[in-house]
Structure formats: C-alpha cells, structure tokens
Structure 1
Amino acid sequence: MVQIRKADEDDWALVQQVRLRSLREDGDVFGSSLVREEMFKESHWRMRLRSSPTWLALDEAGLVIGCVSAIQEPGSPVDDRHVVALWVAPESRRRGVGWALLDAVRATAQHEGARTVSLWLEDSNHGAVDLSVRAGFTRTSERHQLTRDPSRVEERYVRTLD
C-alpha cells in the first residue's frame, strides 16, 4: 500500500532526501545535477515547496519512495500544469507508484480548473514514456534538443482533463 501526500514546507528534508537520491540514481534524466542541488540550503528547499506543489509517495514503513512536482511553466497556457521531477525508487517501479503520483497532479490540476497537464520526456526514457501513455498522455510532436546534450531529444506529452 502506497500513501501519496502533498508535501508542505516543513517536509523540506524529505523532499531534499528523495530529490538527491533521484539525482544520484537517475541523474541523466533530470535537467539539474547532484552537485548543484547538494549545495542548496534549507531555505532553498522551503522556497521550492512554496512555489511548486510537490507530492511524496511513502511505502508501508513510511519511507519516501517517489515524488513529483507540478508547476505553471513559463510561456505555457495558464490552464496547463506541467509535471516536473517525477521519480520513483527503482525497487518500487512498476507497482503503481508513478501512476498514483501523476493522478495526484491530475486531481489537483482539475480542482484548480486546469485544462491540461503536460510533461517533457526523452525518447530513450522508455519506462517514463510507457507510464505516461498508460496514464492518458499523448504525444504532441513538439520536440527539442536538450541544451545540456544536443544529441538527446525530448518530446512534449499532454493529457487533456475532463
């Protein structure tokens, strides 16, 4: 049984813990680096939680096994919520954790009156592409090269909300 709960500012240490683990274990799929985020102070983590709604996935023992954030992406429509930093611990993948995290974003976006939820995925991130498509996201053919590595390309996926 997995519990999904919205993190508040006082959860900053849990968010820091899971974010740094995600960067250690799967750093190549994120737009940031472990070295950069290890330098962040408590005040930065708290600011992140004030500005970006974040959800944590906890296992039966209360250990954090995943997270996701949603933002109003600059330049995107105001009725779109953009998924960032979705990560599930390797030992918990393919057990519905990612699905539950995306569902928390969807439910909140709907409650806020958003029309769509979007995310960017690299073509080579097969697990994330599979999860997103099964969760109702569709490809947009909007693609771009990654700034940090132009040999890698990602595509925007969108889910229209009811």
Structure 2
Amino acid sequence: MDAVVVRRSVEADWERSRAIRLRALRDAPLAFASTYEREIAFLPEQWKARIGDSAQFLAGNADGEVIGTATGFTDPGEPGTVNLVAMFVVAEARRCGVGEQLVEAVVAQARADGASRVRLHVVETNDGAARLYARCGFVRTGVTEPLPHQPSLLEHEMVLALR
C-alpha cells in the first residue's frame, strides 16, 4: 500500500468523518454499538460536535481518500481512561498497517493528555480486530457486555495500561 497519512480531524473534516463512519456502519454493522439508521439522521452540527469533543483521527491514502478512522475520548465517569471507539479501516486497506497507525495515534494522544489507560470493546465475532488490538498491547479484562442493538452478541473489554 502507498503511503498512509494519519492526522487528527478538525471541524472542517466533518463531511469526511461522516462518510467514513457511515461506510463503517454499513460495511460492518455488528462491529459497532451504534447503527447506520441512527447516525444517517445526524445533523452537520452533530458531526462537528463529535470532532470537537474527541480526538478523532483519519487515515488517508496517497490520493487523499479517507481509508480509516479511530476516535479516542476521555471517559467522563473514569478520569484517566480514554475510550478507543469507532475504529474502522476499509477492506482494501486492511492488513497493511493502517489499523496499527490509527490505534497508535489514539494511544499517543491519550498519553499526551495524561491518561493512565486506553480501553476499548470488541465484538466477540470480530476476530481480526481482536488480533489487531492484542498486537498493539491491549489485553482482555474478562469484562463483557451485550452489543446494544444485538444483545445476543457480547463485546469484550480490552485495556492498554499507559503507566
């Protein structure tokens, strides 16, 4: 794969952010706690607010096409914990290091912000993502919870300690 550039989103990226998120929800509906039907209705202000309220990263290819995304946000109920969410890489760019670069960007931002750990949830049927997170140093905690829109599937909590 050609050079990939991972950068933090800014408000002006809201349309790109929306496009990759909606693609993720369409392409992998059981990998996320939300749904395409819910988020297609979001207004531009909601997409802009998401960028402003988090550390969202976009991965772009040499042509400037967005091929991946990942977001980190501080858990309001657990100071020191950053949640890694909305991780997605388009199928044609998988197994090329894009996912690792996106995880690394979220983790680096969490460290810079003084977080003590990064936490994520991965659906039990998403073996590829679970392997990616394990390669990046995340370990399962044993905590599970049902996927909100498909409660028959479990999400496994994984954590990376930063200190």
TM-score grouping bracket, smaller chain normalisation = over 0.9
Asked if residue 60 in structure 1 is aligned to residue 29 in structure 2, the reply is no
8 Å CA contact 2:71–2:85 kept in 1: the answer is yes
User: Is residue 31 from structure 1 mapped to residue 66 from structure 2 by the alignment?
Assistant: no
Shift >4 Å, 4+ stretches: none
| Distance in 2 of aligned mates of 1:7 and 1:54 | 5
| Bigger shift: residues 144-153 or 23-32 | 144-153
Q: Which runs of 5+ in 1 are unaligned?
A: none
CA distance in 1, matches of 2:9, 2:157: 26
Q: Deviations over 1:87-129 (max 9, x none)?
A: 0000000100010000001111111111111100112100100
Q: Residue 55 of structure 2 contacts residue 109 of structure 2 at CA under 8 Å; is this kept in 1?
A: no
CA distance in 1, matches of 2:31, 2:141: 20
The normalised TM-score by structure 1 is 0.95
What one-letter code is carried by the residue in structure 2 that aligns with 1:28? L
Query: Under a length normalisation based on structure 2, what TM-score does the superposition of the two structures give?
Result: 0.95
Distance 1:51 1:73 in 2: 11
- Structure 2 match to 1:104: 105
Superposed CA RMSD in Å reads 1.1
Amino-acid identity (%)? 37
The unaligned stretches of length 5 or more in structure 2 are none
* Structure with higher RCO (Cα < 8 A, 6+ apart): 2
Count of matched residue pairs: 161
